[in-house]
Amino acid sequence: MLKAYKYRMYPTKQQEEMFSKHFGCVRVIYNWALEQKIKSYEQDGKAISRFTLNKTIPTLYKDMEWLKEVNSQSLRGATLNLDNAFTRFFREKTGFPKFKSKKNPVQSFSVPQYYKVDFETNKVKLPKIGWIKTKLHRHFDGNLKTATVSKTSSGKYFISILVDDGKELPDKQDFDENSAVGIDVGIKDFAIMSNGEKIDNPRHLNNSVKRLKVLQKRLSRKQRGSKNRDKAKQQIAKLHEKIANQRNDFQHKLTSRLISENQAIALETLTVSGMLKNHKLAQSISDVSWSSFVTKLEYKAEWYGKSILRIGQFEPSTKICNVCGYHNNNITLVERQWQCPDCGASHDRDVNAAINIKKFALNKQNLIGI
């Protein structure tokens, strides 16, 4: 089973310079490889493989000798990242790969092999760079795979180490109506369970939006190219990083609890990209980050042998009475409570939706009535 472990790095000034060289050289190779792929397709109508590109990289050393200063395998890792970008483009339609800019504050490079991790001294050794002070706060056992060094927009350095612990993913555990839960995500409440529990939306971005506006206003007044403008950018980047850390911490704690308490979790498929086109709700939807929440649920379910059940985005989970099945076409977004005219049952709009999500998902699994 593959797991990634992320650690904060504290390089010296000299090591930071080597990091910058690696970031720059990897970016150059990525852009060069993308250009070669585009030219090959336009001229010959064929795609050029990354293996062919890797064989061509040594010929670039004549005109760009500074490429020799960095780890050659990191350069070849750039062509692999480009291949993965094209794979996502063709399979997931996520957008055609773009050329990378050195103005982007977020930079990274990969180290496929020949690096070492020493937990006793809290250091990581990278080819061409040496031993780097690293906060190795979590221990792991297994075979080291690819490591990725990254720099955030706030100027911090991290290393993500992919480890194969040799374990197999556990088999999916059996579940029934009692061990499954339906979840309806929202904006007022972050998550509503079919058992009636509601998880408050922490609104991390909304809580910091006033401070963010102040910092952005200060940035707009700074002269372009000045050091004070760079400092203002750093302050904004640090605030965005704090918000992202708060959001991830909240979601990790919640998803871990949900996975440990239930054998199966039923969710509604949402097209977040389409929902973001609603300018009145776009900021609130971005703040809750449903996609990130679902991603965490999915990979943790794989780790522990739990099941994630899905229902279609057009299933009328909100409009159907979970008691008698009456379809209420007249319900609006403003109505948070409604009463079924057929059976008289009173419904909380979101709890009713969560119950129906669970019922629809179990019905597809032929588990209703167990």
Residues with a known catalytic role? 184, 268, 350
CA–CA gap between residue 36 and residue 30 (Å, rounded): 10
d(CA 204, CA 184): 20
CA gap 188, 199 in Å, rounded = 10
Q: Distance between alpha carbon 179 and the CA centroid of its chain, in Å?
A: 28
**Which of 232, 18, 244 minimizes the C-alpha distance to 9?**
18
In contact, 345 and 321? CB cutoff 8 Å = yes
The DSSP bridge pattern shows strands 130-135 and 123-126 to be antiparallel
Burial of 31 (0-12, 13-18, 19+ CB in 10 A): middle
Q: At what angle do helices 204-221 and 227-261 cross, to 10 degrees?
A: 170
Closest C-alpha to 191, from 277, 266, 243, 244? 266
